[in-house]
Amino acid sequence: MFQLIFFSILNGLVYGMLLFMLSSGLTLIFGMMGVLNFAHASFYMLGAYVAFTVGLHLGFWPALVIAPVVVGLLGALVERQGLRRVHRFGHIAELIFTFGVAILVEEIVQLVWGRPAKSYQVPAALDFPLFRVMSSSFPAYKAFMLVVAVAIFAFIFVILTRTRAGLIIQASLTHPQMVAMLGHNVPRVFMIVFGIGSALAALAGVIAGPVLGTFPGMAQVLGSIVFVVVVIGGLGSLSGAFVASLLIGIVQTFAVAMDVSVGGALAAMGVHVNTAGALHDLWRVTIAQVAPILPYVLLVLTLILRPTGLFGTRET
Amino acid sequence: MSTPVATRPFAVAGVARAARVRRYGLWLAAAVVLLLLPQSVRTGTAIAVMNQMGIAVIFALSFNMLLGQGGMLSFGHAVYFGLGGFIAAHVLNMAGRGAIYLPVPLLPLVGGLGGLAFAALFGSFSTRRAGTVFSMISLGVAELMAASSLIFDKFFGGEEGITTNRSKAPLLLGLEFTRDRQVYYLIAFWLFVATLAMYAFSRTPVGRMANAVRDNPERAEFVGYSQHRVRFVSFCAAGFFAGIAGGLFAVNYEILTAENMGLNASGAVLLMAYIGGIGAFVGPILGAVVFTFLQSMLSDYTGMWLLYLGILFLATVLFVPMGLAGLLMLHAPVWRARRVGRLLGPYVLTGALGFVAAVGIIGLLEMVHFVAAGRTGTRRLFWLVVAPRTLMPWLGFAALVVAGAVGVRWTGPRAVAAFAEASRPGRP
Amino acid sequence: MTPAIELSDVRKSFGATPIIRGVSLAIEAGTRQALIGPNGAGKSTLFNLITGKYPVTSGRIRVKGAAVTDLAPYEINRRGLARSFQVTNIFTRMSVFENIRCAVLWSAGYRYSFWHRISAARAVNERAETVLEQLNLTARRDVPAGVLSYAEQRALEIGITIAGGADVILLDEPTAGMSRSETEHVVGLIRQITAGKTLLMVEHDMSVVFDLADRIAVLVYGEVIAHDTPERIRANAAVQEAYLGVPQGGVA
Amino acid sequence: MFRPTSALVFAVVVALLAGLASSATPADPIRIAYIDPLSGPFAATGENGLNQFKYATEALNKGGGVLGRQLEIVPLDNKVSPQESLIQLKKVIGDGIPFVFQGNSSGVAHAISDAVQKHNERDAGNRVLYLNYSAVDPALTNEKCHFWHFRFDAHADMKMAALTDVIAANKSVKKMYIIGQDYSFGKAVAEGAVSMLGKKRPDIQIVGNELHPIGKVKDFSPYVQKIVASGADAVITGNWGADMIALAKAANDGGLKVPFYTYYAASDGVTAAIGAAGIDRIRLVHESHPGNPNPPKALSDYLTGYRKLHPQNDVNQPRIHTGLNMLAQAIKRAGTTDVDKVAAALEGAEFTNLSGDQLVMRREDHQLQMPVYISVHTNKNIKHDLDASGFGLALEQKIEREKATQPTTCKMQRPS
């Protein structure tokens, strides 16, 4: 039991930190531009694919740097050439635009890299079990993922609180109009932030690709969950995104580990339900089976009860 | 709009009558075309595709009640289509067993009521908010329903879905629905009725207020309307018509699966409505027809049809946000002024050059696809047999792209100028 | 006679900052009154409290004798109170005619109807046409409201406010940003449409205020320091102080 | 505002419909529809299947075709969706294509089978034949069987019988964990495993029987931890596609070193993803000789020829060759492409496949009777690797046709 809990926490942390890498960029973009970027997970996928290709020629470590840069530039280009054009038509048009970009990226990835999953492997230098507790082992690569995620968190934190650029970005999160009034080139800041956000997503893709698989559906698989994190954490709030990422990561990991069914849980509490009725499926279902939908229940509840999210200060 | 006001009282009666004739005339023409269409087609495929189109048109129109008319971008509209369809399928199965009396022609209504019931349930909280929050809730509801379909096995039938059999239900007036052609008339009937009803809805007080709430929810509150309530009514109506489409789907395909409610289905209807144009009532009709046409025809020719569709969609968002119908609508003044002839030359020229560029782009993309798939040898592209692993075809198609693009850059502005000239008010 | 609008000790704070600091005010029915005060005094906030856009922090508001304190804007509107906005607030993508028609619908009893054809709603359409004529916008009837000139939009703003036939009308700076002649036209319009009704307006143009208002309330730092006839307001020491910043010593 | 636009739109719509009406051409070749995923997440599998069909067709056409006519594969994309499949099926019927092959996902198979049966009963003049080359839910040839469905793959219970034989012989297995996708096939695997292990090795404890949503799980680490925590010393899974890749990776990372008994842990990217970690640990049940070691010559030549055309892909479904050739022979024997006659000719038909096995199409349920093979993931002595990865499958055990057969509950109704 201890072993299960211990590893569930570790896995939850790893998964949560991965979500954070994705949601940090999305939060920055949303906070500044008010755009819920549907294509964010697409940049994550591009990161994995570019890293795979670069890795074939130069190895994993150069790819770790090159892929985010390439994808970041691409993101900036998308902002400059596309998003900025539709900006004047309002948020709904922007949302629809990013939705289109997401479709297109998925198709382009299939066009360029083909449909089969790519065999993007963990680098040999990190391909060993870091430690063992009883019969389970914890791979070094997952520890590396944790380190990278923490480093990103620290990096963003320092940038936002210690540099002038960070102060401008932070100010833009709360008072975008005022920042423009103060003479900053807000469109350019937008472009840079969009680029950085995309690069962060790509970095997440680079390090998640070997673990979660590098295949054309990988963006769709994570796409909506990242939205959940950003909304629950509070739109535009980085610390909220951080907490929500870990929350979702750990909740989902633990839910899988629990084999209790709703009927069983009620029975344990002394309530007996008629399991033969029309809702019998509901009682039969175990928490493990509903684990994947928990985030969406949280999402809807949050939006209804507290649209600002856990830490957010403003609605859309 | 330059018509002097003074002439209005004199002209108004005649204009109104002419307008009425033209308006009802169009509905009448549509009905006649719907009736005669199956006579003009030979293949069963065409009937199958037209059935699909009819369902898609109702669905897209119902979606536009939200997006175009109510300003609500839903990522979960297929939920109501799907639930309406599931309920219709279950009811059809019950009718088939003789548990209830319900003939097939009334089944879409059952689907509609199912869609309505769930729209009322989910709408009660999701329409409290507009804009991005509404979109996110709709996304959450869609994901929730998709996930619930795995849990409620009895209702959704798991991965296999619910199958049904339309030929087991009791007959109404001896109408049988075994062949696709027979189903076509059922779909055409409901298509006509639903379209008429949705058009009428947009011309009712609450339909108008939906526009008002879309434009300015705050102001709507200060003329006596609760924005929540207005959105809620639109949402329910949209759910109802989506459910009708779902019911027709159940009759036509005799199967419903969770994926009918999924994100992809909701995304497809967004594409349809947007490409067609959300600003005009007829936009989604055009979008649904074009989308279904491309989907069923293009997918036979290329595995990358979604890529082309994605490009079309993005191009629409970027360059023609008013959609195809909006683009046509821009030409209404030109049409009225009978100056379409002047545009013909520049448009045909630009169109031809654009076509050349498109051929080049498609050629290049198909060859990339060919090489990326690790294939060797030759393949047929348009009228040519090309060997993508040699240099020549690449140069050829690239030349087409460059020539077409340069040409469009040159003729495009002229076409735009010709349009501006032709649409300028005044005597021809 | 019950006042059209009655505020008792209304307070409003944003966060820790008090904006309205205990306003009690009664607007008699059938009068035209103005609310004036320096920038930041809280005039628009007070409007937003009365019309239900913001909830009050404490205090009570009555419209025509009925408590409306915690009601939503649309519920207050249905009690016969309509307002205009300082920043033009119209239905931009709809035609001018539709703008007015939407403003008429509720009061004509159509509610959330989806079983009436709007084109057959004779009373609504006639009323909308009448309002258009009053506003002098008939020629622009079918133009999308978003493309109207600024002055036309301001006129439409007032039109939307009065179209529903409310008998308590709140106008927020109806002449802001207008030329002299446009202002004169609007003043005439206001005079015409508020005949026999209650009007409360925020206005910076003092000639308009003193021309139109039967009584004037002066709001300074969230408090009403005076509420009286124009002549007496002119002579009021506190008002002088608030506007000029110097006490008029020696007069008393 | 309404009039000119509507009229224009109306014109465009009518023009499109006219184009639609005039499309479609009559055909000389014998057309065979292939309905499987050609786009979306499972496209890899579908496209590789299509290539195998084309490869097999070319060989037949080089030999002169059937009845003097060439065979033509008409690929139709269904995105592994039952709904899309029926949309495509309507086109197949509308175009008058008499034969339909489909294989990926039993969910799709149920939909097509049901629709084909309904259509054939309603429209006797325009029937279609459904040839199922890969969907292995036993129900299709049991309670859901009908005259116009034929299956060319061993169904889940036949395969499970073989797998459980191997497991039963492995005395070190004491605690079994079953994990699968939450749909008919995953459930069939789980049910088969529980009941057969219960008979063959009642001492084996089932320590976990888990269904997870198909295609939705991002990281299988939590599941792997559960397996570890349960103390299982072997795992049975029917997972395929992305779910198999992710499960294998998580098992590698979590240090789960127990043997896996699988249905689809090979090819289409899975073999490459498993890599060295799966050596001698991953076992797979298949309807064909895996190609290593000592492959029959026909099979070896076939695999080599395909690799030349498609350097990254494998013939992972030799049953495609079987199905297509059996169909061709049945058409030849029937002397027509009339569906009922071809179906009658297929009943009881015999065929020697690439592995050199004698197969027979059982009349009672239209389930092809065949031996099944158990092979193991390795990189030793691999002549025909998979995914061009250097890893491949080596034969461990062959279960002969007579032993692999399973009874059926099918009561076949033939058209009179």
B341 pLDDT exceeds 90? no
Q: Where are the alpha helices (DSSP H) in D105-145?
A: 106-122
Average pLDDT, chain D: 87
Query: Long-range pairs for B406-410 at CB < 8 Å and ≥24 separation?
Result: B407/B353, B407/B356, B407/B357, B408/B350, B408/B353, B408/B354, B408/B357
User: Could you give the C-alpha distances from A277 to A56, A281, C210, in angstroms and in order?
Assistant: 57, 9, 75
pLDDT band at residue D182 under the 50/70/90 scheme: confident
Q: What is the pLDDT of residue A284?
A: 63
D3 pLDDT exceeds 80? no
Query: Which conformational region is residue C230 in: left (phi greater than 0), alpha (psi within -120 to 50 degrees), or beta?
Result: alpha
More confident residue, B197 or A227: B197
Contact between B222 and C82 using a beta-carbon 8 Å cutoff: yes
- For D320-372, the DSSP string reads HHHHHHHHHHHHHHHTS--HHHHHHHHTT-EEE-TT--EEEE-TTT-BEE--E
**Residue A71 backbone phi and psi in degrees, to 5:** -70, -35
Q: What amino acid occupies position B138?
A: S
Per residue in B53-97, pLDDT (tens digit) is: 999 999 999 999 999 999 999 999 999 999 999 999 999 999 988
Q: What is the pLDDT of residue B407?
A: 87
Lowest pLDDT segment from A101-115, A145-159, D212-226, D272-286: D212-226
- Superfamily of structural domain D157-293+372-403: Response regulator (3.40.50.2300)
Which of D384, D390, D394 has the alpha carbon at shortest distance from D306? D384
pLDDT band at residue D73 under the 50/70/90 scheme: very high
For residues C181 and C149, is the Cβ–Cβ distance under 8 A?
no
More confident residue, A6 or C153: C153
Tell me whether residue C82 is in a domain.
yes
Portion of chain A with pLDDT greater than 70, in percent: 83
Residue C215 DSSP SS3: strand
Average pLDDT, chain B: 86
Contact between C89 and B216 using a beta-carbon 8 Å cutoff: yes
Contact between C105 and B237 using a beta-carbon 8 Å cutoff: no
**Residue D264 backbone phi and psi in degrees, to 5:** -135, 30
A101 pLDDT exceeds 90? yes
Contact between B224 and C91 using a beta-carbon 8 Å cutoff: no
Q: Which residues of D touch B188 (CB under 8 A)?
A: none
Identify each DSSP E strand in D81-229 by its residue range: 99-102, 129-132, 149-151, 175-181, 205-212
Q: Which domain holds residue C111?
A: 5-244
More confident residue, B305 or C60: C60
For residues C43 and C226, is the Cβ–Cβ distance under 8 A?
no
Q: What is the pLDDT of residue B81?
A: 96
Q: What is the pLDDT of residue B8?
A: 41
* Max intra-chain CA distance, chain A: 68
Q: What is the pLDDT of residue D24?
A: 43
Q: Which residues of B touch C115 (CB under 8 A)?
A: 204
Q: Tell me the shortest Cα–Cα distance from B205 to chain C, in angstroms.
A: 6
Tokens read off for D39: 């786009």
CA distance A115 to A216: 7
Per residue in B20-61, pLDDT (tens digit) is: 677 788 888 888 888 888 887 777 788 888 999 999 999 999
pLDDT band at residue D21 under the 50/70/90 scheme: low
More confident residue, B154 or C13: C13
DSSP 8-state secondary structure symbol assigned to residue D153 = S
User: Could you give the C-alpha distances from A163 to A166, A169, A170, A291, in angstroms and in order?
Assistant: 5, 10, 10, 41
pLDDT band at residue B305 under the 50/70/90 scheme: confident
Question: In this complex, which of A7, A119, A139 lies closest to D269 when CB atoms are compared?
Answer: A119
More confident residue, D102 or B257: D102
C-alpha torsion sign, points B146, B150, B154, B158: positive
Per residue in D187-222, pLDDT (tens digit) is: 899 999 999 999 999 999 999 888 887 777 767 888
Q: What amino acid occupies position B41?
A: V
pLDDT band at residue A314 under the 50/70/90 scheme: low
Per residue in A284-295, pLDDT (tens digit) is: 666 666 777 778
Tell me whether residue C126 is in a domain.
yes
D246 pLDDT exceeds 70? yes
CA distance D221 to D233: 17
Q: Tell me the shortest Cα–Cα distance from C110 to chain B, in angstroms.
A: 7
Per residue in D43-60, pLDDT (tens digit) is: 778 888 999 999 999 999
More confident residue, D276 or B20: D276
Contact between B180 and D94 using a beta-carbon 8 Å cutoff: yes
- B256 Cβ under 8 Å from any chain D Cβ: yes
Q: What is the pLDDT of residue D50?
A: 93
Q: What is the pLDDT of residue D363?
A: 92
A277 pLDDT exceeds 60? no
Burial (0-12, 13-18, 19+ Cβ within 10 Å), B343 = middle
Q: What is the pLDDT of residue A276?
A: 53
Burial (0-12, 13-18, 19+ Cβ within 10 Å), C217 = buried
Q: What amino acid occupies position A278?
A: A
DSSP 8-state secondary structure symbol assigned to residue D33 = E
Which of D380, D396, D362, D375 has the alpha carbon at shortest distance from D154? D362
Tell me whether residue C127 is in a domain.
yes
For residues D359 and D346, is the Cβ–Cβ distance under 8 A?
no
C-alpha torsion sign, points A301, A305, A310, A314: positive
pLDDT 10s digit of each residue in chain C, 252 long?
789 999 999 999 988 889 999 999 999 999 999 999 888 889 999 999 999 999 999 999 999 999 999 899 999 999 999 999 988 899 999 999 999 999 999 998 898 989 889 888 899 999 999 999 999 899 999 999 999 999 899 999 999 999 999 999 999 999 888 888 889 989 999 999 999 999 999 998 888 999 899 999 999 999 999 999 999 998 888 888 877 665 544 443
CA distance D192 to D203: 17
Q: What is the pLDDT of residue A228?
A: 86
Which CATH number characterizes residue C159's domain? 3.40.50.300
Which of B161, B170, B155 has the alpha carbon at shortest distance from B96? B170
More confident residue, A33 or D147: D147
D23 pLDDT exceeds 60? no
Q: What is the pLDDT of residue B147?
A: 79
Q: What is the pLDDT of residue B7?
A: 39
Which of D281, D241, D231 has the alpha carbon at shortest distance from D261? D281
Contact between A97 and B314 using a beta-carbon 8 Å cutoff: yes
Q: What amino acid occupies position A174?
A: T
Per residue in A17-49, pLDDT (tens digit) is: 889 988 888 888 887 777 888 899 999 999 999
More confident residue, B7 or A70: A70
D2 pLDDT exceeds 50? no
pTM for the model stands at 0.88
More confident residue, D142 or D253: D142
Tell me whether residue C251 is in a domain.
no
Q: Tell me the shortest Cα–Cα distance from C245 to chain B, in angstroms.
A: 37
D397 pLDDT exceeds 80? yes
pLDDT band at residue D83 under the 50/70/90 scheme: confident
Structurally, chain C folds into a number of domains equal to 1
Q: What amino acid occupies position C4?
A: A
What's the average model confidence in pLDDT over D276-292? 88
Candidates A115, A126, A211: best to mutate against D (most CBs of D within 10 A) is A115
| Residue B71 neighbours by CB under 8 Å, 6+ apart | A92, B130, B131, B213, B214, B215
- Residues from B in contact with C at Cβ < 8 Å: 1, 5, 200-201, 203-209, 211-212, 214-216, 218-226, 229-230, 233, 237
Domain residue ranges of chain D, discontinuous segments joined by +: 157-293+372-403
| A residues 63..122 contacting B (CB < 8 A) | 82, 85-86, 89, 91-93, 95-97, 99-101, 103-104, 107-108, 110-114
Instruction: Answer whether A touches B (≥3 Cβ pairs < 8 Å).
Output: yes
- Chains meeting C at 3+ CB pairs closer than 8 A? B
Q: Which residues of B touch A299 (CB under 8 A)?
A: 136-137, 139-140, 143
Q: What is the pLDDT of residue B4?
A: 40
Q: Which residues of A185-202 are buried (b: 16+ CB within 10 A; e: fewer)?
A: ebeebbbbbbbbbbbbbb
pLDDT band at residue B205 under the 50/70/90 scheme: very high
For residues B109 and A288, is the Cβ–Cβ distance under 8 A?
no
Contact between B152 and A114 using a beta-carbon 8 Å cutoff: no
Q: What is the pLDDT of residue A198?
A: 93
- B162 Cβ under 8 Å from any chain A Cβ: no
